[in-house]
């Protein structure tokens, strides 16, 4: 069971005299329970389109997306999204932002804050429950976004470059935090990034995507996040020869793809 994308294609219709654009072509992907799938690629390769398909914001031109055997018809609480930015509600404090999804689902006040409080603790936001979100740093805002996505107990967590707007140091800390959360909650994760190092470090499966038409060009199975979760330090993992070798290999593939297209 889990999420299954079955030969999905997305074609944007012709507009302004330009020919139709094949944003995604023949995507086959399955995300089993406990998988951490990372999509990597240059901008314009259809990563976000793929995420929008899974989230239900976009319906495929052909093919289908199945969640536990049922076709995805639109957005739903079984697939929470963590966005890169601009997704928190500045008129609510941290607590109410985290509890927002539960509120929409009609969970009563007390139960709502109890669940939200649990995830606030999990994300290390204790003491900031009443803070306005616009006064938090970028890294903390992103943790609020992740806590909010987790409250509704989704089957799949969709993360659209969640760390893209963070500075490099905060970003490394956030990577470790997300891996630890993933290890504790056992959610399937679909994670988009354009950082090769981040992709290799975080995922259990890596798909490298290529543009025009957007497609999955290469697939890798990755051991590194499990090594980190087994107790090895993050920097140690990232500095290991296997990691560096694979990083260079993936970079080469991406650059070769870009040249082939141009």
List residues near another protein by CB under 8 A: 55-57, 74-77, 79-81, 83-91, 100-101, 103-105, 132-134, 148, 152
- Which is closer to another protein, CB of 5 or CB of 157? 157
- Reading across the β-sheet that carries 215-221, which strands appear in turn? 79-82, 156-160, 188-193, 36-40, 205-210, 215-221
- Which is closer to another protein, CB of 86 or CB of 235? 86
- The CB-of-70 to another protein minimum distance in angstroms stands at 15
- Which is closer to another protein, CB of 105 or CB of 245? 105
- The CB-of-258 to another protein minimum distance in angstroms stands at 28
Token pair of 82 as six digits? 């963590």
256: CB partners within 8 A, 6+ apart: none
- Which is closer to another protein, CB of 20 or CB of 132? 132
- The CB-of-234 to another protein minimum distance in angstroms stands at 28
- Which is closer to another protein, CB of 100 or CB of 128? 100
- The CB-of-107 to another protein minimum distance in angstroms stands at 11
Question: Do 189 and 182 meet the contact criterion of CB atoms below 8 Å apart?
Answer: yes
- Which is closer to another protein, CB of 5 or CB of 237? 5
- Which is closer to another protein, CB of 124 or CB of 132? 132
Task: Report phi then psi at 92, rounded to 5.
Answer: -110, 150
- The CB-of-132 to another protein minimum distance in angstroms stands at 7
Beta partners for residue 80, in sequence order:
157
- The CB-of-208 to another protein minimum distance in angstroms stands at 26
Cα dihedral 59→195→36→113 (10° resolution): -80
- Provide the pairing of β-strand 3-12 with 156-160: unpaired
- The CB-of-90 to another protein minimum distance in angstroms stands at 4
């Amino acid at each position: 069971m889990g999420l299954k994308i079955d030969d999905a294609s997305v074609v944007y219709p012709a507009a302004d005299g330009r020919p139709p654009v094949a944003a995604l072509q023949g995507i086959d992907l399955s995300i089993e329970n406990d998988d951490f799938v990372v999509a990597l690629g240059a901008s314009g390769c259809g990563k976000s389109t793929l995420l929008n398909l899974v989230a239900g914001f976009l319906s495929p031109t052909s093919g289908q997306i199945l969640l536990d055997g049922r076709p995805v018809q639109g957005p739903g609480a079984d697939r929470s999204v963590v966005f890169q930015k601009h997704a928190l509600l500045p008129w609510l404090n941290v607590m109410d932002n985290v509890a927002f999804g539960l509120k929409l689902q009609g969970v009563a006040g007390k139960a709502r804050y109890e669940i939200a409080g649990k995830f606030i603790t999990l994300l290390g936001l204790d003491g900031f429950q009443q803070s306005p979100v616009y006064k938090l740093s970028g890294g903390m805002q992103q943790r609020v976004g992740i806590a909010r996505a987790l409250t509704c107990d989704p089957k799949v967590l969709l993360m659209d470059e969640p760390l893209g707007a963070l500075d490099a140091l905060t970003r490394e800390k956030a990577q470790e935090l997300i891996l630890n959360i993933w290890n504790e909650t056992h959610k399937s994760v679909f994670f988009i990034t354009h950082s090769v190092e981040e992709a290799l470090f975080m995922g259990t499966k890596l798909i490298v995507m290529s543009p025009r038409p957007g497609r999955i060009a290469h697939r890798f199975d990755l051991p590194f996040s499990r090594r980190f979760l087994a107790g090895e330090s993050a920097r140690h993992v990232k500095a290991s020869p296997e990691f560096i070798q694979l990083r260079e290999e993936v970079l080469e593939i991406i650059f070769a793809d870009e040249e082939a297209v141009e």
